[in-house]
Amino acid sequence: MANGTGDTKYESFLKYINTGLLTLIFGFAMMIFVTVNGIKADNLEIQKELLRLKTVQDINTANIKGAEAKIDALEKYQTEAIKSWVDQNYVRRPQKID
């Protein structure tokens, strides 16, 4: 009988240890789950911000290309007018030749 009582105490002790370990494992699993969900939410926000920046960059690039086209056309078709305007409005200084 004494042997049976010791086994019961030992099994009871193992049940407490098992319950404690399962509680720890469940706690760690919940912390990991919360952390992963937080990372996913942060990642989604970062992706939205990157998409917004890409859109702004594309708009700016299109605006720059439009301005370049206007400047190129102006230089191509108005070269003589630009030269005469510069000659009329600016005094050229003699350049030093070394």
The reported pTM is: 0.46
pLDDT of residue 2: 47
pLDDT value of position 41: 86
Averaged pLDDT of the chain: 87
Comparing CA positions, the residue from 44, 72, 48 lying closest to residue 56 is 48
**Res 1: pLDDT:** 41
Q: How many CA atoms lie within 13 A of 50 on its CB side?
A: 6
pLDDT digits (tens, 9 = 90+) for 2-48: 455 667 888 888 999 999 999 999 999 999 999 998 888 888 899 99
Alpha-carbon torsion angle 25, 28, 33, 37, nearest 10? 180
What pLDDT, on the 0 to 100 scale, is given for residue 7?
Answer: 75
Question: CA 91 from chain center: how many Å?
Answer: 52
Average pLDDT over residues 57-82: 89
Distance, CA of 46 to CA of 48 (rounded, Å): 5
The pLDDT value given to residue 15? 92
Q: Determine the Cα–Cα distance for residues 68 and 83; give it in Å rounded to an integer.
A: 20
Q: What single letter denotes the amino acid at residue 42?
A: D
